[in-house]
């Protein structure tokens, strides 16, 4: 374990930005003070740079086990670290699916061997695994994932009685994918009749429709209200759905919420006009919708209707993405460029830096009850990201780490650069290079 001293950084934390030194010892933040002169193994001059708590991404698909042609825990967590994401929570739609406790523990074992970032995993719900869900220890999984709409991996839970039991009995937070599958199936048939297999990609916004989203999201919220469930509705995409949620602009208000809402980076960054240039690269479920929805989501982040920003990082191979509409899989690789995208909203005057940090780090840490992460506080794990807000960063194949080797951001110039990522007190990424060592830990929860 190293001691690290960061000098003259602009810390962004808990609604404040202030100049400070920061000392790291034994993986944790030992001291935050205007001037620290303690000797350390390494001193980092952070003059002119901003120090943020690392992003905590509560929704990623890293494809292991079974789908490793698309990505692996190693390749995608390495990409996350390069993008300033220090912790991730990973989804169960792999092969075999993570729908029992044995498969869940196998993932933790694998991550301990290969992950570059801190990790936790969801247990996936099915129409018949309520007994496994009941057996789950509160600190064993970040949550239970319920696909209330079908997407990659055929994990739809559509049995009404089962849904009610899951919402009533899950020992941990439920995270839902909300889209009404019968409505989508009907629209798919209509568009197939009109276009055959060559449905224009832009129609994804209409096929995976706003009505299908609203119907399913409102059902999830109703179920949670009926059963007193801790519910987190993932990747919301429409202005209409915003009416389903209560505003919680501050963390104190967030802490009181039973039902929280999330937006993902791509739904904030892209809109339906972008299908023209990016086509299947931005085909994802729920779909990227209209510009007015994008604007409503950005506003909802500011108003506190949206509590958390995540990625839904979902890599597919370039070859798969070249297929026509019905066979091009849905999903976008995002973890390396997620924090940079949020900082872009800062450069555009839409979000403050404090808001970016709240939605990408404080709020997920609080919502998922992580043990001592997500804040720059003495005694907390030193998961930090040093960014240069005045240094542009252009995305090229050479600086992209995803195994699938493509990104919808290729050629885009971000206004900021991730200079360094510190994980559990160690420099994990610096000047475009990863450390050869891995410093990741299993995420602990502080749940009673
Ligand atoms: O676009 C998506 N891709 N949405 C999901 O819900 C799943 C994901 C995937 O695993 O490919």
Q: What is the pLDDT along the chain (448 residues), one digit of tens a residue?
A: 689 999 999 999 999 999 999 999 999 999 999 999 999 999 999 999 999 999 999 999 999 999 999 999 999 999 999 999 999 999 999 999 999 999 999 999 999 999 999 999 999 999 999 999 999 999 999 999 999 999 888 899 999 999 999 999 999 999 999 999 999 999 999 999 999 999 999 999 999 999 999 999 999 999 999 999 999 999 999 999 999 999 999 999 999 999 999 999 999 999 999 999 999 999 999 999 999 999 999 999 999 999 999 999 999 999 999 999 999 999 999 999 999 999 999 999 999 999 999 999 999 999 999 999 999 999 999 999 999 999 999 999 999 999 999 999 999 999 999 999 999 999 999 999 999 999 999 999 999 8
Domain harbouring 92, CATH code: 3.20.20.140
Residues 29 and 61 grouped into a single domain: no
Residue 121 located in a structural domain: yes
How remote is the CA of residue 267 from the centroid of ligand 1, in Å? Answer: 13
424 part of a folded domain: yes
From ligand 1's centre to the CA of 367, what distance in Å?
22
93 CA closest ligand 1 atom index: 10
The reply to whether 121 and 39 lie within a common domain is: no
Note the pTM of the prediction, 2 decimals.
0.98
Structural domain contains residue 448: no
**Nearest atom within ligand 1 for CA of residue 91:** 10
Residue 161 lies in a domain: yes
- CA-based R_g, the chain, Å: 21
Work out how many domains the chain is built from and give that number: 2
Residues 21 and 72 in one domain: no
Same domain, 101 and 45: no
Instruction: Identify whether residues 16 and 75 lie together within a single domain.
Output: no
One domain for residues 141 and 197: yes
- Centre of ligand 1 from the C-alpha of residue 331, in Å: 5
Provide the sign of the torsion angle of the four alpha carbons 54, 60, 66, 69, taken in this order. Answer: negative
- Ligand 1 nearest-atom number relative to CA 316: 11
Q: Are residues 62 and 47 in the same domain?
A: no
Q: What's 23's domain CATH number?
A: 2.30.40.10
Asked if residue 321 and residue 259 are part of one domain, the reply reads yes
> Residue 48 is encoded by which pair of tokens?
């002119």
CA of 330 to the centre of ligand 1 (A): 6
Kindly state whether residues 180 and 42 are assigned to the same domain: no
- Cα distance between residue 382 and residue 104, in whole Å: 27
Residue nearest atom 3 of ligand 1, based on CA coordinates: 331
Range of the domain at 157: 53-367
For 267-285, write each residue's pLDDT tens digit. Answer: 999 999 999 999 999 999 9
Summarised one tens digit per residue, pLDDT across range 57-82 is 999 999 999 999 999 999 999 999 99
Q: Which of 68, 310, 329, 402 to mutate to test the pocket of ligand 1 (most atoms within 8 A of CB)?
A: 329
Same-domain status, 81 and 45: no
Q: Is residue 402 part of a domain?
A: no
Do both 106 and 216 map to the same domain? yes
Q: Based on the domain organization, do 137 and 279 belong to the same domain?
A: yes
Residues with CB under 6 Å of ligand 1 are 61, 93, 151-153, 177, 284-285, 312, 314, 329-331
Q: What one-character-per-residue DSSP string does 175-235 give?
A: EEE---HHHHHHHHHHHHHHHTT---GGGHHHHS-HHHHHHHHHHHHHHHHHHT--EEE--
- CB contact at 8 A, 281 and 334: no
Residue with CA nearest ligand 1 atom 10: 152
């Amino acid at each position: 374990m190293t001691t690290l001293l960061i000098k003259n950084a602009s810390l962004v934390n808990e609604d404040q930005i202030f100049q400070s030194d920061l000392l790291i010892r034994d993986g944790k933040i030992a001291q935050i003070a205007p001037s620290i002169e303690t000797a350390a193994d390494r001193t980092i001059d952070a003059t002119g740079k901003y120090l943020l708590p690392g992003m905590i991404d509560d929704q990623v698909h890293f494809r292991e086990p079974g789908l490793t042609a698309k990505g692996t825990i190693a390749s995608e967590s390495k990409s996350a670290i390069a993008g300033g994401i220090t912790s991730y929570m990973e989804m169960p739609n792999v092969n075999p699916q993570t729908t029992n406790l044995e498969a869940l523990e196998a993932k933790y074992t694998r991550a301990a061997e290969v992950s570059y970032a801190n990790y936790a995993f969801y247990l996936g719900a099915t129409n018949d695994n309520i007994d496994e869900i009941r057996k789950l220890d509160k600190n064993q999984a970040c949550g239970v994932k319920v696909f209330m709409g079908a997407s990659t991996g055929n994990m739809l839970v559509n049995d009404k009685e089962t849904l009610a039991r899951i919402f009533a009995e899950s020992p941990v937070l439920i995270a839902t994918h909300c889209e009404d599958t019968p409505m989508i199936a009907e629209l798919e048939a209509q568009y197939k009749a009109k276009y055959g297999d060559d449905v224009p990609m832009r129609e994804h916004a209409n096929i995976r429709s706003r009505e299908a989203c609203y119907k399913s999201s409102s059902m999830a919220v109703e179920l949670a209200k009926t059963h007193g469930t801790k519910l987190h509705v993932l990747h919301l995409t429409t202005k209409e759905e915003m009416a389903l949620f209560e505003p919680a602009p501050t963390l104190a208000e967030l802490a009181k919420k039973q039902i929280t809402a999330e937006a993902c980076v791509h739904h904030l960054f892209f809109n339906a006009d972008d299908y023209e240039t990016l086509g299947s690269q931005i085909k994802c479920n729920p779909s990227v919708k209209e510009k007015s929805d994008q604007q409503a989501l950005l506003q909802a982040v500011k108003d506190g209707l949206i509590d958390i920003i995540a990625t839904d990082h979902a890599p597919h191979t370039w070859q798969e993405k070249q297929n026509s509409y019905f066979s091009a899989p849905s999903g976008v690789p995002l973890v390396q460029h997620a924090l940079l995208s949020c900082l872009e909203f800062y450069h555009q005057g839409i979000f403050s830096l404090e808001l970016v940090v709240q939605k990408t780090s404080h709020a997920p840490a609080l919502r998922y009850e992580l043990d001592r992460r997500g804040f720059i506080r003495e005694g907390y794990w030193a998961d930090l990201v040093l960014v240069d807000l005045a240094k542009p960063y252009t995305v090229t194949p050479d600086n992209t780490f995803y195994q699938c080797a493509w990104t919808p951001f290729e050629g885009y110039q971000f206004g900021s650069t991730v200079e360094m990522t510190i994980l559990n007190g160690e420099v994990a990424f610096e000047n475009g290079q990863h450390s050869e060592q891995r410093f990741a830990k299993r995420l602990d929860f502080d749940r009673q």
